[in-house]
Amino acid sequence: MLAFALSRLARAAITILFVVTFAFIVLRLSGDPALLIMSVDAPPEAIEAFRKAWGLDRPIWEQYLAYAWHALTGDFGKSMRDGRPAIDLVLERLPATLAITLPALALKLGIGIPAGIYAALHRNSLADRLTMMVSVAGFTMPSFVLALVLVLIFGVTLGWLPASGADSVWHAVLPIVTLGTAGAAIMARFTRSAMLEVLGQPYIRAASAKGLAWWLVVAKHALPNAAIPTVTIIGFMVGSLVAGAVIVESVFAWPGIGRLLVSAVANRDLAVVQALLMVIAAWMVLANLCVDLAYGWLDPRVRSGAR
Amino acid sequence: MSSPLLEAIDIRRQYNVRTAGGVFGRKAVLQAVAGVSFRIDMGRTLGLVGESGCGKSTTGKLALGLIPPSSGEIRFVGSTLPAIGSAAWRDMRRRMQMVYQDPLGSLDRRLQVGPQIAEPLIIHDIGTPAERRERAYATMASVGLQKHHFERYPHELSGGQRQRVVLARALITEPKLIVCDEPISALDVSIQAQVVNLLLDLQDRLGLTYLFISHDLKVVRQVSHDVAVMYLGRIVETGQAEALFRAPAHPYTRALVSAIPSLGEKRERLILSGDPPNPVDVPAGCAFHPRCPFAIARCRSEAPALRRQPDGRAVACHRADDDAIALAA
Amino acid sequence: MAAPLVSIRGLSVDFDDGRRAARAVDGVDADIAAGEAVGLVGESGSGKSVTWLAALGLLPNRARVSGEVRIGGMNLIGAERRVLEGVRGKRIAMIFQDPSSCLNPVHRIGRQVTEALRLHRGMDGRAAEAEALRLFDQVGIADAKRRLSDYPHQLSGGLNQRVMIAIALAGQPELLIADEPTTALDATIQAQILLLLSRIRRETGMAMVLISHDLGVVAENVDRVCVMYAGRIVEQAPGEALFDTPHHPYTQGLLAALPTLTGPRRRLAAIPGSVPEPWNLPVGCRFAPRCPAAEERCRHEAPPRRVIAPAHQAACHFDVAGQSVWPAQEAAE
């Protein structure tokens, strides 16, 4: 298990290095930051001075090495807009994002998993079909549409909840529901198919033939096996805790990571964009690492490398 | 003496595998086929028997040139098989075909079976569309399918009919050699006999040569002139089918034969203990010695060669000439 | 004659998936005496497995089961779930075809054995472990102590089937249903498992139903054989009588279609056509379309059960008196 964990850790580090490099290349390919930041009619001396101040006049590989080294030590330089350390800007937005994505995750798992299990156990029943219909609607609808519908109903028509901003706890309700609904729908569908797959396995029939009560067959034999594929999708959801709310934050004017990303990209604030990508990537990689380790924990076949 | 249609000379095939352990697993070599030689004369059938993992299917693929041997040589009508993918190889594929165990799995369920039967003609660029259709009809008739089956989809046919479709597809290029890999194992008992009879009739009519791979000794005896028994990548005994099953000489063959449940007459049983070893970790000496009730010290250290016996059979056993084991049975 | 241990009367199973209705089992009557070994032979789709899955209530909900399956005065068909759970594993245990996929891949095999011991014998902790070791010993698992903490994927198919048998024995059942227990195993391993089953039967006096498509497997291991075709039992007889003088044309055909390992090689007598689909069964005798002796009556009227000798019955309109209806085959070559 230790060797297994170490090899996954090494892979995670390589992924992060790749992201760092990729971010650098893409942002440089998109144009000269000096020209983009300064106004078009700025005097050439001013542009030159800007370049010198930010190190943009040095050879590109030197810029890359300096950038990569700093990035790996957590230093992304200062925001080109307001001069504060980029990483601080990012980290101070993190709590706001987590404030809506964490409750949304709880919603996804808390509703999606039980609904999926129930639907699978009552396959083809009315409840199953209803659950699946709602679930299809839930994840085919784009989140901004759902967001606008919710705003229209609860914000405008009924006036129960604020439609945008972040002034009180109530402001978080609609963003959380928007995020949670789509996720719960995906989760329900995934859990259901994982459960159905497992319920069709010979060891389920064999467990029943042993004389175990049906709920014990489900609890002890079906659920632990169905959990294995479900971990993938849970990992994906945990991975999107940081950057999964870009659209929803924009619609609800929620001051989180997502909105920072949108405005930093629009402003060509290189340092901030790079810091954001780094934090997002690091979180994703960490989530993936957890998924891999969870596999090893849940499935003895993975642990012993039998597959 | 007739010339061999197919000859395998000391063919080997190994795979690099990873087993559990270490950060990326431990490297190991799996000897799927570890030095196999045989010949099949024109119009004859060689049965290849053995338990799962003994390398019989790999041997079949090697014989057809579907995978290259790690070493050794396959000769077809006297010349070495051309390199895989070359024009000569493609041309040769017309004359040697394969029939697999699972007819549904080797047919495309979205296509009618007729075009699937005619497909090899298109691949090898033979005839006009009309001629191909005619030939498909003729081949279908020869395997007992009717014209109206041409437009059917695989799922609309019974298991036996599907296997006939697969046979027709193999036969349409008029091959000399057909490698049958468990061709009837997936079929019901009452259907197996139909397909066995069909295979024998086709051989009579078309002079086909078969390499017949199966774990079912009774069926192998029914169709084969000669039989080779494999254990862990090697042939342990080979000889004329009836003689071999009547009086198996190798202890493994004896166990295999005695393990076959029979109707009526009770035979003495030689029940082996344990499972066949992992092919990644083949025992030293004779690979069979840990399960062999007759093993002696020599069997643990020295691998027995396949030696020709006076009756024309070949056996790879240090104790093949020992009368003592014959008595012990 | 003593009352049978299990008695099946008029058991029928229908599957209806909304598009088409299929009758998998059609009015099966059978008795299993205590300690008896009965073979149930048939091709795929003959209903031989479904019969016993239905008896134990192990079919999916969409299966409609009617008739009676009695054990000790209790009818299992339509019985409450609790009643069924009390019979499964305790009075009637079942093992299946593919042992490696019948064990839960994420639990250690020791735990899967002790689970049954806790359930049926109320054993826990040390006592359960000791009994599991004894069972492993009984089913011939070497190095039992270490094996308890293995996972199924670490064991061969043969060993996994031994584990399945140990689990089945945990409840000390009166009847073991062995559903194609050796079909997925290699020949030499099959021989080991069959030997084990007959030894255990001798030791425990438990009855066994051996379900198989292989007449040879059945012939060597049971006292009495039932032959099923398209959901019905077409012939039942003591093993020797069935194999020496089969009375039903289907049984005769099956035997003639089998190649042998000894004696002269003959051309096999193939039964023409194929097994009917369960949603498209012929009326009258199910075998009539493939039977060389079929007459007009066979195509309309289901044949009665004809008593040929005590314990030998065949469901055929004709008394063929042990003469094969299939043309004799000459020796090949």
Q: What is the pLDDT of residue B329?
A: 47
Q: How confident is the model at residue C333 (pLDDT cuts 50, 70, 90)?
A: very low
Do residues C105 and C152 make contact, with C-beta atoms less than 8 angstroms apart? yes
Closest chain C residue by Cα to residue B245: C261
CB pairs under 8 A between A and C: 83
Is pLDDT at C148 greater than 60 in this prediction? yes
Question: Which two tokens mark A91?
Answer: 């980290």
Q: What is the pLDDT of residue A40?
A: 66
In a domain, A260, yes or no: yes
In a domain, A119, yes or no: yes
Q: What is the number of alpha carbons within 13 Å of residue B119 lying toward its C-beta?
A: 14
Q: Testing the interface with C: which of A197, A208, A210 to mutate, by most C Cβ within 10 A? A: A210
For the segment C235-250, what is each residue's pLDDT rounded down to a tens digit? Answer: 999 988 998 899 999 9
Do residues B223 and B40 make contact, with C-beta atoms less than 8 angstroms apart? no
A134 φ/ψ angles, rounded to the nearest 5 degrees: -60, -40
Contact state of A6 with B21 under an 8 Å Cβ cutoff: no
Q: Percent of chain B beyond pLDDT 90?
A: 56
Is pLDDT at A144 greater than 90 in this prediction? no
CB pairs under 8 A between A and B: 13
Q: Please tell me if residue C50 touches chain A, with a CB cutoff of 8 Å.
A: no
Q: What is the pLDDT of residue A305?
A: 59
Q: What is the pLDDT of residue B324?
A: 52
Is pLDDT at B96 greater than 70 in this prediction? yes
Average pLDDT, chain A: 84
Domains of chain B, residue spans:
4-95+175-328, 106-174
Which parts of chain B are beta strand (E)?
4-19, 26-41, 45-49, 71-76, 79-80, 96-99, 177-181, 209-214, 226-231, 234-240, 307-308, 314-315
Is pLDDT at C68 greater than 50 in this prediction? yes
The DSSP-derived string for A195-235 is HHHHHTSHHHHHHHHTT--HHHIIIIIIHHHHHHHHHHHHH
Q: Please tell me if residue B18 touches chain A, with a CB cutoff of 8 Å.
A: yes
By the 10 Å C-beta count (0-12 exposed, 13-18 middle, 19+ buried), A237 is classed as buried
Residue of A202, A214, A221 lying closest to C101 (CB–CB):
A202
Do residues C75 and C106 make contact, with C-beta atoms less than 8 angstroms apart? no
Do residues A196 and A123 make contact, with C-beta atoms less than 8 angstroms apart? yes
CA of C154 vs chain A CAs: smallest distance (Å)? 9
Contact state of C188 with B51 under an 8 Å Cβ cutoff: yes
**Residue A72 or C75, more confident:** C75
Q: What is the pLDDT of residue B264?
A: 65
State whether residue B12 is helix, strand or coil: strand
Average pLDDT, chain C: 91
Residue of A213, A214, A306 lying closest to C153 (CB–CB):
A306
Contacts of B25 in chain A (CB under 8 A): 305
Angle at B148 between CA B145 and CA B153, to 5 degrees: 85
Contact state of C262 with B265 under an 8 Å Cβ cutoff: yes
Give CA–CA dist C94/C77, Å, rounded: 17
Contacts of A3 in chain B (CB under 8 A): 22-23
Q: Percent of chain B beyond pLDDT 70?
A: 94
Q: Please tell me if residue C279 touches chain B, with a CB cutoff of 8 Å.
A: no
Report how many helices (DSSP H) and strands (DSSP E) chain C contains, helices first: 11, 12
Residue of C43, C219, C269 lying closest to B189 (CB–CB):
C43
Whichever domain contains A223, its CATH number is: 1.10.3720.10
Question: Which two tokens mark C272?
Answer: 């023409």
Q: What is the number of alpha carbons within 13 Å of residue C77 lying toward its C-beta?
A: 20
State whether residue B63 is helix, strand or coil: helix
Is pLDDT at C287 greater than 90 in this prediction? yes
CA of B218 vs chain C CAs: smallest distance (Å)? 5
Is pLDDT at C129 greater than 70 in this prediction? yes
Do residues B217 and B260 make contact, with C-beta atoms less than 8 angstroms apart? yes
Do residues C52 and C38 make contact, with C-beta atoms less than 8 angstroms apart? no
Contacts of A214 in chain C (CB under 8 A): 81, 85
Contact state of B190 with C271 under an 8 Å Cβ cutoff: yes
In a domain, A121, yes or no: yes
Contact state of B197 with C270 under an 8 Å Cβ cutoff: yes
Q: How confident is the model at residue A76 (pLDDT cuts 50, 70, 90)?
A: confident
Contacts of A305 in chain B (CB under 8 A): 18-21, 25
Please give the radius of gyration of chain C, using alpha carbons only, rounded to the nearest integer: 21
Q: Please tell me if residue C9 touches chain B, with a CB cutoff of 8 Å.
A: no
Q: What domains are defined for chain C?
A: 6-222 (3.40.50.300), 249-315 (no CATH)
Q: What is the pLDDT of residue B327?
A: 44
In a domain, A18, yes or no: no
pTM, two decimals, is 0.88
Closest chain A residue by Cα to residue C55: A209
Contacts of C105 in chain A (CB under 8 A): 203, 225, 299-301
Contact state of A306 with B20 under an 8 Å Cβ cutoff: yes
Q: What is the pLDDT of residue A150?
A: 85
CA of B261 vs chain C CAs: smallest distance (Å)? 5
Q: How confident is the model at residue B25 (pLDDT cuts 50, 70, 90)?
A: low
Contact state of B200 with C267 under an 8 Å Cβ cutoff: yes
For the segment B261-315, what is each residue's pLDDT rounded down to a tens digit? Answer: 877 666 677 888 888 888 888 899 999 999 998 999 999 999 999 998 888 899 9
CA of B168 vs chain A CAs: smallest distance (Å)? 36
Contact state of A203 with C56 under an 8 Å Cβ cutoff: no
Is pLDDT at B124 greater than 60 in this prediction? yes
B4-95+175-328 folds as Rossmann fold (3.40.50)
Helix (H) or strand (E) holding C222: none
In a domain, A10, yes or no: no
Instruction: Write down which chains contact chain A via at least 3 CB pairs under 8 A.
Output: B, C
State whether residue C93 is helix, strand or coil: strand
The partner residues of C226 in beta bridges, in order of sequence, read: C40, C236
**Residue A26 or A201, more confident:** A201
CA of A165 vs chain C CAs: smallest distance (Å)? 48
Residue of B190, B256, B265 lying closest to C188 (CB–CB):
B256
In a domain, A156, yes or no: no
Report how many helices (DSSP H) and strands (DSSP E) chain B contains, helices first: 11, 12
Torsion from C-alpha of C250, C251, C256, C257, nearest 10 degrees = 70
Question: Which two tokens mark C233?
Answer: 């039992």
State whether residue C325 is helix, strand or coil: coil
Q: What is the pLDDT of residue C172?
A: 95
For residue A166, the 8-state DSSP code is -
Going by their DSSP bridges, the two strands B209-214 and B45-49 should be labelled as: parallel
Q: Testing the interface with C: which of B192, B222, B257 to mutate, by most C Cβ within 10 A? A: B222
Contacts of A306 in chain C (CB under 8 A): 153-154
* Number of domains, chain A: 1
Q: What is the pLDDT of residue A268?
A: 77
Helix (H) or strand (E) holding C5: none
In a domain, A100, yes or no: yes
Contact state of C259 with B242 under an 8 Å Cβ cutoff: no
Contact state of A209 with C93 under an 8 Å Cβ cutoff: yes
Contact state of B20 with A7 under an 8 Å Cβ cutoff: no
For the segment B68-80, what is each residue's pLDDT rounded down to a tens digit? Answer: 999 999 999 888 8
Residue of A202, A210, A221 lying closest to C98 (CB–CB):
A202
Contact state of C87 with A209 under an 8 Å Cβ cutoff: no
Contact state of B18 with A305 under an 8 Å Cβ cutoff: yes
Q: What is the pLDDT of residue A307?
A: 38
In a domain, A13, yes or no: no
Closest chain B residue by Cα to residue C219: B263
Give CA–CA dist A7/A92, Å, rounded: 33
Do residues C133 and C141 make contact, with C-beta atoms less than 8 angstroms apart? no
Closest chain B residue by Cα to residue A6: B23
Give CA–CA dist A87/A80, Å, rounded: 12
Range of the domain at A277: 86-139+172-303
- Strand arrangement of the beta sheet that strand C21-32 belongs to: C21-32, C6-16, C63-71, C74-75
For the segment B143-195, what is each residue's pLDDT rounded down to a tens digit? Answer: 989 889 999 999 888 888 899 999 999 999 999 999 999 888 888 888 899 99
The partner residues of C306 in beta bridges, in order of sequence, read: C314
Q: What is the pLDDT of residue A306?
A: 44
CA of B193 vs chain C CAs: smallest distance (Å)? 5
Q: Testing the interface with A: which of C106, C108, C121, C211 to mutate, by most A Cβ within 10 A? A: C106
Do residues C218 and C208 make contact, with C-beta atoms less than 8 angstroms apart? no
For residue B272, the 8-state DSSP code is P
Residue of C43, C194, C259 lying closest to B190 (CB–CB):
C43
User: In sequence order, which residues have a C-beta less than 8 Å from that of residue A114 and are 6 or more positions away?
Assistant: none
Q: What is the number of alpha carbons within 13 Å of residue B114 lying toward its C-beta?
A: 17
CA of C26 vs chain A CAs: smallest distance (Å)? 23
Work out the number of other CB atoms within 10 angstroms of the CB of residue B123: 12
